[in-house]
């Protein structure tokens, strides 16, 4: 990418203290603009691909069209989320051996591209149980590829983007993905909504595979230094003990990191509540603006607005942003529970439809804030290989927490979806209090 063009784009989109670049390695300082534009582009392409291979919307539709048993549909979200988090502490020693982490990111992107291509072929050629098993196997590979990307991208960002700009880079990518989600939602409506054919979905998935090839190509051009100027731990550290022992030891001895993981575990209200909102809308027999397409559009609009809004807020104080997102999300859930309990939403007509879509939109918007905040926080709180370890261990721990909290909320939902929503809202409110006690690491 031509340096003058990149510099103009970077100066127009990202604002920060020019002196902050002095904290980067000397060979990275002159390429901040180019690296910033490439990182925004790569993460935007990746986030756009996530909309195409959404385990809560597109893949369940695909299973329905292909006649896959409902029992297999229930495996999609757990595999997608936990599969990308649980292996991270195990894979970290391998990642730390790679001096330029961008190649780990490239490898993860190519793995995801291959997995989505298999899904596209399956949609075109297979049916029934066979199709379901093949898609789930491909989704497992996809999650492992995302696992590698998740470990590597924060380290690459920390090496190439100065403090005060990292949240904006993440936020810009989220905004771009929001545009794609809105376009996808409108396209699904115009192409038939619930009547989408397997052929259309196969082409949609093929487009998703192409997006991840683009991620790999763009990321390969990042100018990443071999080492950071300070803060890097000894490179032999990952081999001194097994990954599980190191994970337990880090959580036991590092108080600041343990606090971050604990708070992050309490901020799941914005991520786990939206599916229950969709379920509640179906139980209430409201239209929800013509089905799942309306929720996809709401999700995209939230990303479009939240990416730009929360990026700068994260650079000012990622700690406060996480607490704000969880607090507002909890309030939205409590308001929705009160509305559906006290009022007959079905009789409200369009107002009832709008109630669920607005709630879904606000929850997704707050989840964007929480996600941008926690990503920025973990990048800013450490340097070098220690940052890589923080990212991996926190994500592995969250893989377990997601299974536990998701299991509890699902059990509660067997009785009534409202109980699951109340549980998640209560968890979020506790997270707000705990988040206020985290140390401040932002310098924007």
Q: 3-state SS string over the chain?
A: CCHHHHHHHHHHHCCCCHHHHHHCCHHHHCCHHHHHHHHHHHHHHHHHHHHHCCCCCHHHHHHHHHCCCHHHHCCHHHHHHHHCCCCHHHHHHHHHCCCCCHHHHHHHHHHHHHHHHHHHHHHHHCCHHHHHHHHHHHHHHHHHHHHHHHHHHHHHHHHHCCCCCHHHHHHHHHHHHHHHHHHHHHHHHHCCHHHCCHHHHHHHHHHHHHHHHHHHHHHHCCCCCCCCCCCCCCCCHHHCCCHHHHHHHHHHHCHHHHHHHHHHHHCCHHHHHHHHHHHHHHHCCCCCCCCHHHHHHHHHHHHHHHHHHHHHHHHHHHHHHHHHHHHHHHHHHHHHHHHHHHCCHHHHCHHHHHHHHHHHHHHHHHHHHHHHHHHHHHHHCCCHHHHHHHHHHHHHHHHHHHHHHHHHHHHHHHHCHHHHHHHHHHHHHHHHHHHCCCCCCCCC
Q: What is the mean pLDDT of residues 193-215?
A: 84
Split at pLDDT 50, 70, 90, the class of 399 is: confident
Split at pLDDT 50, 70, 90, the class of 113 is: very high
Q: Which of the two residues, 7 and 121, has the higher pLDDT score?
A: 121
Q: What is the mean pLDDT of residues 44-70?
A: 79
Q: Which of the two residues, 100 and 110, has the higher pLDDT score?
A: 110
Split at pLDDT 50, 70, 90, the class of 431 is: very high
Q: Looking at 103-117, 236-250, 344-358, which range is the least confident one? A: 236-250
At 130 the pLDDT is 93
At 247 the pLDDT is 72
Residue 243 has pLDDT above 50, yes or no: yes
Rounded mean pLDDT of the chain? 78
At 391 the pLDDT is 77
Select the highest-mean-pLDDT range: 54-63, 199-208, 352-361. Answer: 199-208
At 119 the pLDDT is 96
Residue 9 has pLDDT above 90, yes or no: no
Q: Looking at 9-23, 182-196, 367-381, 390-404, which range is the least confident one? A: 9-23
**What are the boundaries of each domain within the chain?**
28-227+239-435
Q: How far apart are CA 341 and CA 58, in angstroms?
A: 30
At 237 the pLDDT is 44
Instruction: Express as a percent the part of the chain with pLDDT over 90.
Output: 19
Q: Which of the two residues, 377 and 227, has the higher pLDDT score?
A: 377
Select the highest-mean-pLDDT range: 58-62, 366-370, 405-409. Answer: 366-370
Q: Looking at 109-118, 180-189, 214-223, 370-379, which range is the least confident one? A: 180-189
At 427 the pLDDT is 94
Q: What is the mean pLDDT of residues 6-22?
A: 59
At 351 the pLDDT is 66
Q: Which tokens hold the place of 407?
A: 């299991």
CATH class of the domain comprising 28-227+239-435:
mainly alpha
Q: Up-side HSE of residue 403: CA atoms within 13 Å toward CB?
A: 14
Q: What is the mean pLDDT of residues 404-409?
A: 82
At 326 the pLDDT is 92
At 107 the pLDDT is 93
Select the highest-mean-pLDDT range: 2-11, 45-54, 60-69, 280-289. Answer: 45-54
Cα–chain center distance at 426? 22
- Non-local (6+) Cβ contacts of 274 within 8 A are 56, 295, 299, 360, 363, 364, 367
Only one residue has tokens 């082409």, namely: 203
Q: Looking at 116-130, 170-184, 208-222, 223-237, which range is the least confident one? A: 223-237
At 15 the pLDDT is 59
Residue 406 has pLDDT above 50, yes or no: yes
Select the highest-mean-pLDDT range: 113-117, 270-274, 399-403, 433-437. Answer: 113-117
């Amino acid at each position: 990418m031509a340096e003058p063009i990149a510099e103009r784009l970077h100066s127009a989109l990202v604002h920060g203290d020019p002196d902050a670049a002095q904290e980067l390695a000397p060979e990275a300082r002159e390429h901040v603009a180019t690296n910033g534009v490439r990182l925004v582009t790569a993460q935007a392409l990746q986030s756009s691909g996530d909309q195409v291979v959404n385990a809560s919307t597109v893949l369940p539709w695909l299973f329905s069209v292909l006649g896959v048993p409902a029992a297999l549909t229930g495996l999609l979200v757990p595999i997608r989320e936990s599969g990308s988090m649980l292996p991270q502490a195990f894979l970290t020693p391998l990642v730390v051996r790679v001096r330029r982490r961008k190649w780990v990111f490239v490898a993860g992107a190519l793995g995801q591209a291959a997995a989505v291509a298999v899904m596209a072929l399956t949609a075109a050629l297979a049916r029934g149980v066979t199709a379901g098993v093949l898609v789930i196997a491909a989704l497992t590979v996809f999650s492992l590829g995302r696992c590698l990307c998740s470990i590597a991208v924060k380290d690459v960002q920390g090496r190439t983007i100065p403090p005060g700009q990292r949240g904006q880079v993440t936020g810009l990518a989220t905004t771009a993905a929001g545009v794609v989600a809105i376009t996808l939602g409108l396209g699904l409506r115009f192409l038939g909504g619930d009547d989408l054919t397997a052929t259309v979905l196969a082409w949609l998935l093929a487009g998703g595979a192409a997006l991840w090839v683009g991620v790999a190509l763009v990321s390969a051009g990042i100018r990443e230094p071999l080492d950071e100027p300070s803060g890097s731990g000894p490179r032999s550290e990952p081999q001194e003990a097994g990954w599980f022992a190191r994970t337990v030891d880090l959580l036991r001895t590092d108080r600041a990191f343990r606090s971050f993981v604990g708070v992050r575990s309490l901020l799941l209200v914005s991520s786990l509540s939206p599916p229950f909102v969709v379920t509640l809308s179906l139980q209430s027999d409201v239209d929800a603006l013509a089905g799942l397409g309306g929720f996809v559009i709401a999700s995209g609009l939230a990303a479009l607005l939240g990416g730009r809004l929360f990026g700068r807020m994260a650079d000012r104080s990622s700690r406060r942003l996480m607490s704000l997102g969880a607090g507002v999300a909890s309030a939205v859930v409590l308001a929705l529970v009160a509305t559906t309990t006290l009022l007959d939403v079905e009789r409200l007509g369009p107002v009832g439809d709008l109630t669920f879509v607005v709630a879904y939109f606000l929850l997704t918007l707050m989840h964007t804030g929480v996600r941008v905040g926690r990503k920025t926080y973990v990048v800013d709180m450490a340097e070098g290989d220690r940052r890589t370890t923080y990212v991996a261990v926190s994500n592995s721990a969250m893989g377990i927490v997601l299974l536990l909290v998701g299991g509890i909320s699902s059990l509660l939902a067997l009785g009534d979806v409202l109980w699951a929503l109340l549980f998640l809202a209560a968890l979020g409110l506790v997270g707000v209090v705990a988040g206020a006690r985290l140390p401040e690491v932002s310098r924007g």
